[in-house]
Structure formats: structure tokens, C-alpha cells
Structure 1
């Protein structure tokens, strides 16, 4: 799960940065406001890459997805991109957990096979 989620978050890092460049064209927003908000979101996306497997990591990821969609009120195309990344986030979490379960089952089967072959009298 960690690899899939981290890949999604790194993609979001770049999208947030590009959205910040687009938001700079809004005359109602200052540079400081745009880059403070984008900087916090970009920092959070990178930090979350290492927090995915910790308690609350996935929930923080969902909060970032909601914020990304809500950023569409400033940069309208972010409604679409935020929804795409929310879908990618769901897939990363859902299928990542399935992959982790399959890896755990495979590792347990390997251990059982090694234990059976190493048992005395199994020659």
C-alpha cells in the first residue's frame, strides 16, 4: 500500500505546485497567500509519504484529497483534478491493502514450506 499511496502523493505534490502557479494569476490573492497554502499542502503530501502505514496516515491523505477538490474554488480545473486524485487515492489504498495481504499470505506459505523441508525426518 505504501508504494501506491506514495506515488499518488508525489503526483499531487506536482499538481499542487502547478495549481499554485495558476492561482498566482488571480488578482485577489497575494503571492504570500498562494505559496503559504500551496507550500503547506505540498509539504503535507511529502510527509504523508512516510506516514501512510502509521495510524491516521490514510485519514490525513483523505483530508488532503478533500482540500485538493476544495481548491477548485480558486482554480476551477482543480475540481476535476482533485476528483481524479481522490479516485487514485481510493485505488491506492484499496488495492494496496489487497497487495499487502497477498504478500503476507505468500510469505507465510514460504515460511511453512521452509519449515516443512527443514523438519527432522523429512528427507
Structure 2
């Protein structure tokens, strides 16, 4: 019998990638809200949203693919959480959005690592 096709694959990209891609959508919805509220000029708003979205996409692409692999995706994800929460200084509602996603990110990282550790222990 051969090993399953996903033997050794990390669960982190599935969990953390979902959070990061969801954040990209929320960032652009927040930019649309900012367009209506006009806290800063439209150019700055779109530039900031694009940089944050790009950071989230790069972090998702750099998440560890194999169990035990060290890649910078998790660190970049934490940096994205801090920057999104700091967006609350421009639009106060982003403090709440950033806090919610920071908790989701922390839970995804924790559970992803836990699942990887348990699958490795079970030999899966």
C-alpha cells in the first residue's frame, strides 16, 4: 500500500489562507466604506488597501506547505494583522475589524500547528 497523497502536507495553508483571503475582501469593502466617509483622499485609501491586500496575498503564498517547514508566511500574516488594526487610526471601525481578524488568525495558526503536530505523532 502507498502512503496517502497528502501525507506530510501542512494544514496551516488551509486554515490561515482562508483567513487571509477573507481579509482581502474585507479590506476592499472597508475601502469602499472609506470612499463614502472620506477620512483621507481616495488615492491614499486605495493605495493603503492595495498594499494591505498584497501583503495578505503574499503571506498566504508563503505559508508552510509541509509539516514542520519554516516559511515567512505566518510572520507576514501577523504583520498584516497589526497593520489592519492600525488602520483604525484612519477609520475607527477598523480597530474592531482588525481585532476580530487577529483573533481568527491566532486561532487558525494555533489549530493548524496543533493538527500538524497531532498528525505527525499519529504517523499520518
Please report the TM-score for the alignment, with normalisation by the length of structure 2.
Answer: 0.79
* Structure 2 unaligned residues grouped into runs of 5+: 1-11, 65-69
1:100 to 2:116 alignment: yes
- Deviating beyond 3 angstroms after TM superposition, the runs of 4 or more aligned structure 1 residues are none
C-alpha deviation, 1:80, in angstroms: 0.7
Query: Larger % of helix: which?
Result: 1
* Alignment match, 2:89: 73
Deviations 1:20-58 (A, max 9, x none): 111113445222111111011111112211111153221
1:59 to 2:75 alignment: yes
Whether the 8 Å contact between 1:22 and 1:75 is mirrored in structure 2 is: no
User: Aligned to 1:55, what secondary structure does the other structure show?
Assistant: coil
Larger radius of gyration: 1
* Alignment match, 2:101: 85
Q: Which moved more, 1:36-45 or 1:48-57?
A: 48-57
Whether the 8 Å contact between 2:59 and 2:77 is mirrored in structure 1 is: yes
For the aligned residue pairs, the C-alpha RMSD in angstroms reads 1.5
Please report the TM-score for the alignment, with normalisation by the length of structure 1.
Answer: 0.80
Aligned pair count reads 108
